[in-house]
Amino acid sequence: MNVALGRAGVTLGLVAAVLGVVTVGYGLVRRRPDLIRLSRAYAVLVFVGGIVAFIAMERALITRDFTVKFVADNGSSKTPALYNFATLWSALEGSIILWSAILGGYLVAVVFKFRKRLADPLVGWALLTMLAVAAFFFFLMAGPANPFENFSPPAGFDGPGPNPLLQNHPLMAFHPPMLYLGYVGFTVPFAFAIAALATGRVGEGWLLATRRWTLIAWGFLTAGIILGSWWSYEVLGWGGYWAWDPVENASFMPWLTGTAYLHSVMVQERRGMLRVWNISLLCATFALTILGTFITRSGVLESVHAFTESSIGPSLIAFFALIVLVTVGLIGWRGDRLRSPGRIDSPLSREGAFLANNVLFGAFAFVILLGTVFPLVVEAINNDRISVGVPYFNRMTMPIGLTLLFLMAIAPVLPWRKASAELLRHRLIWPAWVGAGAMVFAVAVGARGLAPVVAFGLGGFAAGSAGRQLVLAARRQGWRGLVGRANGGMVVHLGVVMIAVAFAASSSYVRQAEFTLRPGDTAEFAGHTLLYEGQNIKEESAKTINQALVRIDGTGPWAPSLNKFANGQTTIGTPSVRSTFTDDVALSVIDIRGGDDPSVTLRVTVQPLIIWLWIGGGVMALGTLLAVFPGKRRNPIDAVSSPLAGASPPEPEPEADRVVANA
């Protein structure tokens, strides 16, 4: 029943997507608006197909219908409701269902948003592109990664349940959907970029049409990445939150190119330049989401030799190649129109800073891509096995990150076209003192070492600069000074600074130790006192929880545990973390013994400022929301001299700038 329903949904989606591509394509080539407008119906059908597949799988999971092979492989009658619901995206085939359903949702949203312009060839080509992407994902579900395979369970059969690590923390229910909303969301601006190339309308119109879509996708991706690192901190119990592992890198690379795009797009809106570059960045972002899915889902990273075992890998890599070829081909074909007049007058200008930003973000993404695939390349070339891990990524990305922080401090105060040294001196003096103050404070409370202290200083500098912009905007416009792209962007910058400072502090000053304690024993470590009170065993339907009750500085008891899952033979630990605004004490149980000679072996990780990673993530999400909110600004394709809609146009920072200009 569920298999039939699911297959019906997949078939509906696939047929609707393919027919949609054919119909809309024919309509576009033959200039038949009536056919182009049919995209609306096809989009709705694709969405319905995705939702039907999603509901069929959830229904199978909730009713524990083990005749569906996916449920037999990943479900279990013992899994609690929340994790049972989340089981859908805990394995490959189910996550493709989620991907397709979300893509269907975006399709319908685009059709609704552009309902008055459906016959516009730009929108038509964009919808055609989205339908083609949808066709690919429904094809995956129909063939290589079919979630609705039959299975005949023997009597009394019960599945193993999802990977125990994936049913250990409620964040698992939120992190993957967020991430997918981000990944899939980039399909929309990508589709419009392709449409701009196809129609030849490569000006600024499509950028503006997709401005909010890009921001929203970026916001979801940001939130997804941060929730993922929070999840790994709360669940994996090694005291860290970011391991530069391929899965994390796969989500981080599109984030980097997407962030580069969000910045360089402003140069195109304002100056009409960088057209090829912006289109390439968007296409790279979308292609990297597919490449990331390939890297993480095909099993290729375990070893090049595992490549053939995966059925989805070849399809994904072929799709990736197709995206790259189509993009490069279209850009080559439209080369003449993409050449834009204009020049950047001075490197010391807003647009110059955005260029530098792009070079750095590009280098950042390149380092991560190289580090992720390098072991594969080496193995393919000379059969050597090497590892590229955390120390490599930290060492290579630190200088890039510090330079980006510096740029974050300078760029917001730079005017377009050309800045004078005088102007910079005037605008940067207070942010610079904030940065110096941050360094003095850090050293005063005991921070040592060049890199982290420089990071704190640059973080303060960047925060001062962002804060200055916000204060000036709020003085001019009241609460409206906080909304709009520029101001919301400054709020995002504040969040980034929090994360950068927390990252620098926690990775530079982490202290880790192991202690074996008997009940009643205490241990001193990194200024904290631990008291082991004893063992506590709890039985739950899916697992047996073996807790160690520990008081940290008299608070608690905190209860890190080892959990034995009923089905798997695996035992996994659940850490327990005491967070304060200054530092985190994370406890995880390595071994716990009861009986005559009771004792526990604990790993203690003390890291400063961890909580600011999550607060910074929240601030970034808030800033994105503020940036999506329409601010008072000139429509960027109007002439710079045209009046600002509604508002009386005050010069930015009237006193200071005018004086400098007159001098």
- Taking CB under 8 A as the criterion, which residues in 435-454 touch other proteins? 436, 439-440, 442-443, 447-450, 453-454
* Position 573 contacts other proteins (CB under 8 A): yes
* Position 390 contacts other proteins (CB under 8 A): yes
- Minimum Å gap between C-beta 12 and other proteins is 31
* Position 266 contacts other proteins (CB under 8 A): no
* Position 645 contacts other proteins (CB under 8 A): no
Are the beta carbons of 637 and 203 closer than 8 angstroms? yes
* Position 25 contacts other proteins (CB under 8 A): no
C-alpha to C-alpha distance for 557 and 609, rounded to whole angstroms: 22
Are the beta carbons of 516 and 599 closer than 8 angstroms? yes
- Structure tokens that stand for 49 in this block: 């197909």
**99-136 as b/e, with b when 16 or more CB fall inside 10 Å?**
bbbbbbbbbbbbbeebeeebbbbbbbbbbbbbbbbbbb
The one among 318, 325, 328, 429 contacting other proteins by CB under 8 A: 429
- Minimum Å gap between C-beta 630 and other proteins is 17
Cα 356 to Cα 257, 262, 425, 500, distances in angstroms: 14, 14, 20, 19
Are the beta carbons of 302 and 288 closer than 8 angstroms? no
Residue 555, SS3?
strand
Tell me the per-residue interface mask from 207 to 236 with other proteins, x by CB under 8 A, - otherwise. Answer: -xx--------------------------x
* Position 307 contacts other proteins (CB under 8 A): no
* Position 631 contacts other proteins (CB under 8 A): no
* Position 206 contacts other proteins (CB under 8 A): yes
* Position 426 contacts other proteins (CB under 8 A): yes
* Position 629 contacts other proteins (CB under 8 A): no
- Minimum Å gap between C-beta 621 and other proteins is 28
Q: Give the residue with the Cβ less far from other proteins, 5 or 451.
A: 451
* Position 388 contacts other proteins (CB under 8 A): yes
Residue 180, SS3?
helix
The footprint of other proteins on residues 172-201 (CB under 8 A) is: 200-201
C-alpha to C-alpha distance for 362 and 368, rounded to whole angstroms: 10
The one among 205, 415, 557, 568 contacting other proteins by CB under 8 A: 205
Name every residue whose Cβ is closer than 8 Å to that of residue 364 and which is 6 or more positions away in sequence.
256, 397, 400, 401, 404
Tell me the per-residue interface mask from 574 to 613 with other proteins, x by CB under 8 A, - otherwise. Answer: --------------x-x-----------------------
- Stretch near other proteins under the rule CB under 8 A, chosen from 154-162, 283-291, 380-388, 607-615: 380-388
Residue 488: CB atoms within 10 Å? 22
- Minimum Å gap between C-beta 337 and other proteins is 8
- Stretch near other proteins under the rule CB under 8 A, chosen from 17-25, 42-50, 67-75, 364-372: 364-372
Name every residue whose Cβ is closer than 8 Å to that of residue 162 and which is 6 or more positions away in sequence.
74, 75, 76, 79, 83, 86, 87, 90, 91
Residue entry with tokens 């074909």: 333
C-alpha to C-alpha distance for 104 and 363, rounded to whole angstroms: 34
Q: Give the residue with the Cβ less far from other proteins, 210 or 327.
A: 210
How many residues make contact with other proteins (CB under 8 A)? 82
* Position 398 contacts other proteins (CB under 8 A): no
- Number of residues written out for the chain: 663
- Stretch near other proteins under the rule CB under 8 A, chosen from 213-221, 223-231, 376-384, 578-586: 376-384
Tell me the per-residue interface mask from 273 to 302 with other proteins, x by CB under 8 A, - otherwise. Answer: -----------------------------x
Cα 549 to Cα 18, 531, 577, 656, distances in angstroms: 58, 9, 12, 61
C-alpha to C-alpha distance for 105 and 218, rounded to whole angstroms: 17
